[in-house]
Amino acid sequence: MSVIAEDIRTHWRAVQPIFSIRDEAEYDTTISTLNALIDEAGTNEQHPLYELLDTLGTVVHAYEEKHYPIPECSGIEALKFLMEEHQFEPSDLSALGPPDIVKEILKGERDLTVAHIHTLAEIFQASPAVFV
């Protein structure tokens, strides 16, 4: 075996467990590692561990897509969910209009406009596609 292969094998043994998520325990461990990397590297693409953070994020995303799929829902259902998560009331979305208009949107009595969708995407830091 070459020196390079032996060197890779040695390092691979150390990092392999975080690249292979087979169950909830490994998922929890990987999430802890990912959070520690986020705390250290953040969004600094020049940080020496940033590529590891990025790669580990991809591994976690793949596991979550398989084991925690996001159900299909309408834009209004997504809006209701996000409002609940952020503890928003219709009055908190004044950028869409008066609370009565927001209530009509939530009841399905009024459609979201393109302007509403872009505003919601900004408010909730989400893709506009979430609200379509």
84, 112: one domain: yes
Tally of domains in the chain: 2
Residues 63 and 79 in one domain: no
Q: What is the pTM of this model?
A: 0.53
Helix (H) or strand (E) holding 125: none
- CA dist., res. 46 & res. 68, Å (int): 32
Q: Which CATH number characterizes residue 95's domain?
A: 1.10.260.40
Q: Is 123 found in the same domain as 88?
A: yes
Distance between alpha carbon 10 and the CA centroid of its chain, in Å? 33
Which residues form the domain of 97? Answer: 75-131
Are 29 and 62 part of one and the same domain?
Answer: yes
Would you say 116 and 124 are in contact if contact means Cβ atoms under 8 Å apart? no
Please identify, among 14, 37, 67, the residue that sits at the C-terminal boundary of a domain. Answer: 67
Task: Render each residue's pLDDT in the chain as its tens digit; 132 residues.
Answer: 677 788 888 888 877 887 889 999 999 999 999 899 999 988 889 999 999 999 999 999 899 888 887 678 899 999 999 999 999 999 999 999 999 999 999 999 999 999 999 999 999 988 888 888
User: Do 30 and 60 touch, CB atoms closer than 8 A?
Assistant: yes
